[in-house]
A = this chain, B = another copy of it.
Amino acid sequence: MKTISTAKSHGGVQGVYSHASEACACDMTFAVFVPPQAKDGPCPVVWYLSGLTCTHQNVMDKGEYRRLAAEFGLIVVCPDTSPRGESVPDEKDNWQFGCGAGFYLDATQAPFSTNYRMYSYITEELPALIAKEFPADMTRQAIFGHSMGGHGALTIALKDPERFKSCSAFAPITRPMVAGWSRPAFEKYLGTDEAAWRAYDAVALIEDGKRFPEFLVDQGSADGFLEDGLRPWLLDEACKAAGIPLKLNMREGYDHSYFFISTFMDDHLRWHAERLAK
């Protein structure tokens, strides 16, 4: 692991790091905030998965998570959203596919299956690195994210409920199998057999029997992606049918940006801190 930068912030350290990823067959960059409490012992780990077009940097710059992470003693890990590099296949003019759009899945289709293995990266490789390199208590993990990253958080938590004490999302893509901006990506990454897509769709996972204790979701009512891309009511219906408590907050007048995310960041960090403390 290589340290790209570190800066003291809110009594802790905001760092940016890179490493040669085996899962993604390229160098990967990620951000980690280590709170001041890490001096006294391992701290719980909160994973934040970012949305389409983002890198580790967007939430690090604009997410406003450090004040409460420092107060609650949370390590916050912010991975990139896809493999990157000259050898990584991409569609340069398509922001909904390729670099910046890994959708937190393991691609099975050539030429994408070599690098686009964000599911393995987030669930296996990066946790092992975090456990090795940071003062992390891996028995206490939480996960959240935004948009495509909300999809990532929900699906990863549903498939591994033992790993996470809590899960939440800002404006998640609840049904990527059928949403206009993710269907073409799923086909290219996973092939045309939609049965294989269900492992990366929160609503389908719940329909297929996966469970998580409870979810928190915040969604802006003025979000331009609400009707076609996000549709939190589909998650609401699936959770109701499955008996999963979902706290879904529709936020009047808020859009899809970090101005929205940063407004409700405190609520989400409190949600996770309470559950990580148990």
Contact A66–B262 (Cβ < 8 Å):
yes
Tell me whether A8 and B61 are in contact in the complex, defined as CB-CB below 8 angstroms, given that A66-B262, A259-B14 are known contacts. Answer: no
Contact A8–B259 (Cβ < 8 Å):
yes
Contacts A7-B254, A8-B259 given; 18 further ones with Cβ under 8 A? A7-B255, A7-B260, A8-B222, A8-B255, A9-B254, A9-B259, A9-B260, A9-B262, A9-B263, A10-B262, A10-B263, A11-B263, A14-B259, A61-B61, A61-B62, A64-B64, A66-B259, A66-B263
Interface string of A11-45 (1 = CB under 8 A from B): 10010000000000000000000000000000000
- Shortest Cβ distance from residue A32 to the other chain B in the assembled complex, whole angstroms: 13
The answer for the CA separation of A66 and B67 in the assembled complex, in Å, is: 13
> Does A209 make an interface contact (CB < 8 A)?
no
- Shortest Cβ distance from residue A35 to the other chain B in the assembled complex, whole angstroms: 12
**Chain B residues closer than 8 Å to A222, beta-carbon distance:** 8
Q: Which of these, B7, B14, B64, B257, contacts A7 with CB under 8 Å?
A: B257
- The 3 A-B residue pairs whose C-beta atoms are closest, nearest first, are A9-B259, A7-B259, A8-B253
